[in-house]
């Protein structure tokens, strides 16, 4: 399969690297890693086994890639104003577009420029950070869950899942993309925001009774809002929250992406992870006071844009 990766950060490089290692023809749109990767290849460290791809097809401009079979989008959502421009040169009538971006609104944005039936959405449960240029450190997790955006699940979804699984990327499919995205927000909303604001990794937040209780309360209100969005099946707070906390505790001193972005002076994904869910909740008159407060503080502490 000919695959183009738009958003070659930790997620894009890790999944794209695994797909290339499995024999697929992968093309990476690169920024900071361009020189290092095109000269020396891509290095991946992982508890599942390190590997090095000596030859990697990297580009500075997506027009150089041309039409492909699968667009894999890992672009940070704060850069979504460029998303259509970056993806367009890769898309033909036969192209499938898969976004693994955080939050809400990404598929809807893509559908303004491409056929809705071409779009697949998904979420990644991945602990992965970039190291020095050309290096990605996979720490834990790595599974993805995907669903169709505008058509019923069928052979295409199963074929995509098979492709990922054969590449060593655990992948499952679902029939309710809205539910899948809100389930990820149950984790993203408390941990990304609180870690970014406090500068503390996930294990330190969980070790304090007060902060653990706050995380739990935020998760409860996210689930309450999710369950007003017409899901095919309600999210069970009891069955979701404690296992999620236990899994996170097992990840050790993990720094979520928003915490790393703040430490590096990058923008935060506030619209997709906070503003859009808050707007969805407001439409159903579902209060999310803790989430709204977290969003307000994150906004207030963002540096002014020039």
Positions marked active-site: 184
| Rounded alpha-carbon distances, angstroms, from residue 201 to 183, 195, 248, 254 | 21, 6, 11, 5
Beta bridge partners of 27: 4, 57
Helix axes 209-226 and 276-283, enclosed angle (nearest 10): 60
Helix ranges, 199-300 (H) = 202-207, 209-226, 237-249, 257-263, 270, 276-283, 289-300
Beta bridge partners of 53: 42
Instruction: Tally Cβ neighbours within 10 Å of residue 279.
Output: 12
Cβ-contact 128, 117 below 8 angstroms: no
Both tokens of 68, joined, read: 């492909």
| Rounded alpha-carbon distances, angstroms, from residue 84 to 8, 73, 79, 114, 127 | 16, 11, 10, 9, 27
CA dihedral 266, 147, 72, 190 (to 10 degrees): 10
Enumerate residues 6+ apart whose C-beta is below 8 A from 283. Answer: none
Nearest to 164 by CA among 180, 149, 146: 146
Enumerate residues 6+ apart whose C-beta is below 8 A from 161. Answer: 146, 171, 172, 173
């Amino acid at each position: 399969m000919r695959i183009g990766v738009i958003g070659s950060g930790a997620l894009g490089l890790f999944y794209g690297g695994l797909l290339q290692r499995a024999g697929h023809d992968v093309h990476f749109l690169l920024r900071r890693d361009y020189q290092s990767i095109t000269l020396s290849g891509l290095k991946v460290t992982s508890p599942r086994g390190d590997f090095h791809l000596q030859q990697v097809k990297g580009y500075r401009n997506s027009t150089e890639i041309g039409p492909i079979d699968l667009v894999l989008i890992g672009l940070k959502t704060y850069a979504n104003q460029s998303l259509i421009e970056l993806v367009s040169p890769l898309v033909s009538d036969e192209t499938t577009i898969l976004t693994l971006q955080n939050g809400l609104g990404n598929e809807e944005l893509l559908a303004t420029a491409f056929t809705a039936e071409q779009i697949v959405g998904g979420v990644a449960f991945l602990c992965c950070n970039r190291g020095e240029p050309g290096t990605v450190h996979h720490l834990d997790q790595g599974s993805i869950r995907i669903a169709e955006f505008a058509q019923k699940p069928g052979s295409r979804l199963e074929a995509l899942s098979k492709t990922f699984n054969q590449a060593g990327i655990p992948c499952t499919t679902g029939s309710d993309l809205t539910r899948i995205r809100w389930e990820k927000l149950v984790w993203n909303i408390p941990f990304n925001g609180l870690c970014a604001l406090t500068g503390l990794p996930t294990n330190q937040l969980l070790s304090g009774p007060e902060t653990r209780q706050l995380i739990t309360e935020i998760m409860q209100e996210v689930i309450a809002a999710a369950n007003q969005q017409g899901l095919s099946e309600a999210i069970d707070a009891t069955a979701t929250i404690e296992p999620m906390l236990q899994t996170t505790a097992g990840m050790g001193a993990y720094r979520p992406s928003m915490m790393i972005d703040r430490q590096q002076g990058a923008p935060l994904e506030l619209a997709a992870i906070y503003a859009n869910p808050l707007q969805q909740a407001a439409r159903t008159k579902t209060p999310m006071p803790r989430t709204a407060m977290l969003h307000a503080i994150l906004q207030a502490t963002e540096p002014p844009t020039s």
